[in-house]
Amino acid sequence: MRTFLKIIGQHITWRHQLLKLARADIVKTYSGAALGWAWAVIKPAVTIFVFWFAFDVGLRLNRGGDYNGYPFILWFMAGMMPWFFMQEMFTEGANALRQYNYLVTKMRFPIATIPTFVALSKLLVHIILMGITVLFFLAYGFKPDIYLLQLPLYMVCMWLFFVEWAQFASLLTCMSKDFYNLVGAMVQALFWLSGILYDVHTMHVPEWLHIILLCNPITFVANGYRNIFIYKVWIWQQPMEFLYFIIVLAIMTGLALWAYRKLYREIPDVL
């Protein structure tokens, strides 16, 4: 608990610098290329096109599925958009300390805040992508409604979980590149095991497996985004899902604090 309060305190003391660093992180990601900001949109657009082509046009999933009256591509986008953020956070979040090693080894800087500003910079890109998503729905004739109010809540949930993840994973990545490679290998698996391409609620599986699948925070977020855009469900209408998520978030936070307490003194020596 003391460690937790210390880290919160560091965030408050360094808040201005964190915003500047988040801004620099974005500038850096997109300034080196001729198309600059366009890449933030092009990469997801290509992925969505490929999946839409394979599943909607090729496999004709739209004929059999029930997407609450929405076309497959909109249903797919609603769940896929948060995945782009999550995917980046899995790998780049795990690499945050290595990427910003100069903040660790060259100056006095609270290393616990590094994952936070990396996640902030990714969140801004995500918010822009969600704006485009809303426009996309409009183009199909679906106007934003009151359920959109839930979007910030799900964003914050997702963001918090991945800040804690990055905190934990980036510390371990410093200790060994093996961990980073492990994460890289797992990302694809996590994508297919989570409820992004299918709806976990309608799967015909035993109850225990169902609960395990619902504990997956990726599934929670993808479901949440679909509840907003497609199914029109409020978060309190699925209280168990939210409870599972809070438990998993608490566990992730515990792991992050454990890793921080154990490693923060050693990190500058090994980077």
Partner 1 sequence: MSSDKVVIRFSHVKKLYKLFPNDKRRLMSVFFPKRVNYHAKWAVNDVSFEIRQGESVAIFGVNGAGKSTVLKMITGVAFPTEGWIDVDGRVSALLELTAGFDSELTGRENIYLKCQLMGMKDNEISEAEQSIVDFAEIGEYIDQPTRTYSSGMLARLGFAINVNTEPEIFIVDEALSTGDSRFQEKCLLRVQEIIERDNVTLLFVTHNIGTAVKFCRRGLVMKLGKVTFDGPIKEAQRLYEGGDY
Residue 269 interacting with partner 1 (CB under 8 A) = yes
Residues 21-60 close enough to bind partner 1 by CB under 8 A: 21, 24, 27-28, 31-32
Select 31 or 237, whichever has its Cβ closest to partner 1.
31
Q: What is the DSSP string of 26-90?
A: HHHHHHSSSSTTHHHHHHHHHHHHHHHIIIIIIS-HHHH---TTS-HHHHHHHHHHHHHHHHHII
Per-position x/- string for 56-95, each x denoting binding to partner 1 as judged by CB under 8 A, each - no binding: ----------------------------------------
Residue 107 interacting with partner 1 (CB under 8 A) = yes
Stretch of residues binding partner 1 (CB under 8 A), selected from 80-88, 106-114, 140-148, 151-159: 106-114
Reading the block at residue 13, the tokens are: 């003391």
Residue 177 interacting with partner 1 (CB under 8 A) = yes
Count other C-beta atoms under 10 Å from residue 131's C-beta: 10
Identity of the amino acid at 48? I
Residue 15 interacting with partner 1 (CB under 8 A) = no
Residue 183 interacting with partner 1 (CB under 8 A) = no
d(CA 194, CA 126): 19
Please state the closest distance from residue 264 (CB atom) to partner 1, in A: 8
> Long-range CB contacts (< 8 A, 24+ apart) of 9-17?
10/110, 10/112, 10/113, 11/112, 11/113, 11/116, 13/110, 14/109, 14/110, 14/113
Residue 263 interacting with partner 1 (CB under 8 A) = yes
Residues near partner 1 (CB under 8 A)? 16-17, 20-21, 24, 27-28, 31-32, 100, 102-109, 172, 175-179, 259, 262-263, 265-266, 268-270
